[in-house]
Structure 1
Amino acid sequence: MSEINPSQITFARVRRRLTKAQLAKELGVTSRSIQNYETGSSAPDSETLAKMAKLLNFPQQFFCIEESMPVIGEHAASFRSLSKMSDAMKNCALSAGAIAFHINDWIEERFNLPQADLPDLSDLPPEEAAATLRRMWGLGSAPIPNMIQLLESKGIRVFSLAEEAREVDAFCTWHGSKPFVFLNTMKSAERSRFDAAHELGHLVRDVYSMRHGETRGIEMEREADAFAGAFLMPSESVVANKPPAFTIKYLLKLKHYWGVSLAALAYRFNALGQVTEWGYRNLCIEIAKAGYRTNEPEPMEREVSQLLNKVLDALQAQKVGRAEIARGLCISVDEINALTFKLTRLSVVPADSSIDLVSRRSPGLRLV
């Protein structure tokens, strides 16, 4: 076995949301031993390493990789919601993001993917920024059929949040020149679409703060929400489609048209002054009493990743599946499945392939 990389032990422990004391207890060693493993003062013996690898669900080779996993700084990512998130949960989600960087780098060595095409709209208020981006991307004022595929066509890499971090709504970050968005695919399709638009707002309006790791506050999150509402539901079209009465019956028809939640649609009409405050409050009460804040009525079909499905299909045609990808990256298949959960079809091929894809010409993928 090669020399142990201490930072890989720390990464794997954080990924599984374990404290040093918890890991020590599971391994039957002292907390000081874990501290020494992670600082490099000492290394686990072969038996302890094997037990650690099994417990943390990482291949033993992962702990011997010379190049450490990338680290996403605490303020380098913009989270959809921080109120219900513990530090352990946030760090778990960030470590999932680092694995996604690793997977994306592996894919980009083999495929030509769309490059980032994101303008800097930080000098514009949310409503104007959303309208400007729609004009720049030639979207007009029509509903957006698929947010995930739109983001991917503009060079944004979209992954699912790992199941362990399902309490996290969504977050976005940059890896070099590549923007990433992580969506909680345990949520309804409508809410995931809104989260995708929210994170897009951060990527085009909060460029400086994200690049320089500045702390983001509640106001920035509110503005990202405002951007998302305006981007998914352009003001002129929403006003033109004003219902004869603000009832759940009429709003249900419009929510299918825009692909948003009932609550988001009601809020948008209120933000544009199309319904009185009294009428909006009553509508919110009606939505809550019907249970539609937690269980979306008449849910839409979930959006999937066109890019990841095309990549996996191309690899499968060469008898290369998730097991081969995981083996090449020294991670478990579970990590790939978690990061593509509900974004792709499950692809399984024989695990005995030894095809050398690195030496092949990189095919280009076109998103339509």
Structure 2
Amino acid sequence: MDDRTQQLAFGAEFSPDKLRLARCAAGLSLAELGDLLGVSRQYAHKLEINAVPNPSQIQLLTKALGVTEEFLSSPRRGSVELEQCHFRSLRSSTQTIKKSIASQVELFELLVNELEHEVDFPPVGFDPFEVPLVSDDVIEKAAEGFRRDLSIGIGPIANVTRLAEKAGVLVVNLADADDRIDAFSLFNKRPLIVRNTAKVNPCRHRFDIAHELGHLVMHQGIETGCRTTEAQANQFASALLMPRASFGGEFPTMRGQYLNWTALGELKLRWKVSFKAIIYRAQTLNLITQDQARSGFTYLSRNGFTKREELDELLAQETPTLVQRAVDLLDHASWRKILKASGLSDELVRERFMLKVPTSPLALVK
């Protein structure tokens, strides 16, 4: 916008699609957008079709949505469609929630596209697994192949998030993501995994990342979300975190019909997985019977170990570092260039994506 005339710059056009994208990313309904601008829901809807906001409305929009005027006057180049996305979500999640998360990811990709002009991210270190997933053994082999691709052997994975980033996957935090979305992944120009920071269980976070890696490895070009694809990703995560070639040999012997919880605790701390995941894996590998597994799940439920378990506090919470390290490499001038090209604000990047951004150099003052 021209500061002198307070009109859109010559040649610039208002983009209704970009307004819709920013609104969905902010989680606002059309009625809420109307309240923000002091107009009706119907007029807010027109702004996302063919109406053009006045200068004061544009200022309100940029401030509330965390985008620039240039963002709202540039065309939308591609979009993140729900069919492309792998959501690890609860049944109560809605299309509106998923659309909001997908829109936030599209904004993040705008930032990443500009970052890649300045910083080289690691190349993608795995190939899609294209063998038909006709049996459990095939999924086991997919997880084993992923480990081979990254040369990590068959021992415990110290940091699953770091492993994903080593494989060229960008892992991003989304602040205040809806509790009904556990995790999300997408393979567009580059594979990406979104973490919900509302989930504070370290074992759950690790399993979620491994689950999303399963989607990225096995389900490229396949629409997911059904019980079959979710079960396949769960099995991949289980096999990735607890390889059959080594985990089975470490599983403790039974005390008659009872699980050895002390030994299982040591196993949990070594492999950094939940008791529940250990029991599922042990049953899958025929190390315990179905009745013994059911008894173990009952014990966990009776002791309130559904969301939090014993020993969780001894395991560190993993955090992504790759994108933050890329931002840290930039000086302030380069960062401003990237921010302007993406059309996002410092506030949005800090608050939505939980990234620390370069600050301006110190200025001399009187």
Question: Which residue in the other structure is 1:186 paired with?
Answer: 198
Per-residue CA deviation, residues 313-348 of structure 1 (Å, 9 max, x unaligned), is 322xx346977754553223343235544xx6x456
Gap regions ≥5 residues in structure 1: 354-368
- How far has the Cα of 1:99 moved from its partner? 1.3
Question: Which residue in the other structure is 2:85 paired with?
Answer: 77
Of 13, 19, 25, the residue aligned with 1:9 is 19
- The AA in structure 2 aligned to 1:52 is L
Tell me, yes or no, if structure 1 residue 227 matches structure 2 residue 239: no
Q: Is the Cα–Cα contact under 8 Å of residues 59 and 330 in structure 1 kept in the other structure?
A: yes
Please report the RMSD computed on the Cα atoms of aligned residues, expressed in angstroms: 2.4
Question: Which residue in the other structure is 2:62 paired with?
Answer: 53
Of 38, 41, 45, the residue aligned with 1:31 is 41
Tell me, yes or no, if structure 1 residue 93 matches structure 2 residue 101: yes
Tell me, yes or no, if structure 1 residue 19 matches structure 2 residue 26: no
- How far has the Cα of 1:242 moved from its partner? 1.3
Question: Which residue in the other structure is 2:274 paired with?
Answer: 261
Tell me, yes or no, if structure 1 residue 307 matches structure 2 residue 322: yes
Of 96, 111, 120, the residue aligned with 1:112 is 120
What pairs with 1:329-368 in structure 2 (closer than 5 Å)? 329-338=342-351, 340-341=353-354, 346=356, 349-350=359-360
Partner SS for 1:183: strand
- The AA in structure 2 aligned to 1:179 is P
Of 143, 146, 161, the residue aligned with 2:159 is 146
For residues 248 and 177 of structure 2, the distance between their equivalents in structure 1, rounded to whole angstroms, comes to: 41
- How far has the Cα of 1:288 moved from its partner? 1.9
For residues 334 and 287 of structure 1, the distance between their equivalents in structure 2, rounded to whole angstroms, comes to: 42
- How far has the Cα of 1:29 moved from its partner? 0.9
For residues 326 and 262 of structure 1, the distance between their equivalents in structure 2, rounded to whole angstroms, comes to: 44
For residues 347 and 96 of structure 1, the distance between their equivalents in structure 2, rounded to whole angstroms, comes to: 18
Per-residue CA deviation, residues 124-176 of structure 1 (Å, 9 max, x unaligned), is 52112112222333222111111112111221111123424343111111223
- The AA in structure 2 aligned to 1:182 is V
Q: Is the Cα–Cα contact under 8 Å of residues 92 and 165 in structure 1 kept in the other structure?
A: no
Question: Which residue in the other structure is 2:5 paired with?
Answer: none
- How far has the Cα of 1:189 moved from its partner? 2.0
Question: Which residue in the other structure is 2:209 paired with?
Answer: 196
User: CA 1:155–1:304 in 2, change beyond 3 Å: closer, same or farther?
Assistant: same
- The AA in structure 2 aligned to 1:15 is A
**TM-score of the superposed pair, with normalisation by structure 2:** 0.85
User: CA 1:134–1:29 in 2, change beyond 3 Å: closer, same or farther?
Assistant: same
Partner SS for 1:208: coil
For residues 309 and 21 of structure 1, the distance between their equivalents in structure 2, rounded to whole angstroms, comes to: 35
Gap regions ≥5 residues in structure 2: 2-7
Q: Is the Cα–Cα contact under 8 Å of residues 187 and 220 in structure 2 kept in the other structure?
A: no
Bigger radius of gyration: 2
Q: Is the Cα–Cα contact under 8 Å of residues 143 and 232 in structure 1 kept in the other structure?
A: yes
- How far has the Cα of 1:114 moved from its partner? 1.1
Of 243, 247, 262, the residue aligned with 1:238 is 247
For residues 361 and 24 of structure 2, the distance between their equivalents in structure 1, rounded to whole angstroms, comes to: 29
Q: Is the Cα–Cα contact under 8 Å of residues 185 and 192 in structure 1 kept in the other structure?
A: no
- The AA in structure 2 aligned to 1:204 is V
Partner SS for 1:169: strand
Per-residue CA deviation, residues 209-243 of structure 1 (Å, 9 max, x unaligned), is 1xxxx454210110100000001100121211111
Q: Is the Cα–Cα contact under 8 Å of residues 8 and 69 in structure 1 kept in the other structure?
A: no
Partner SS for 2:102: helix
User: CA 1:297–1:186 in 2, change beyond 3 Å: closer, same or farther?
Assistant: farther
Partner SS for 1:75: helix
User: CA 1:320–1:153 in 2, change beyond 3 Å: closer, same or farther?
Assistant: farther
Q: Is the Cα–Cα contact under 8 Å of residues 96 and 162 in structure 1 kept in the other structure?
A: no
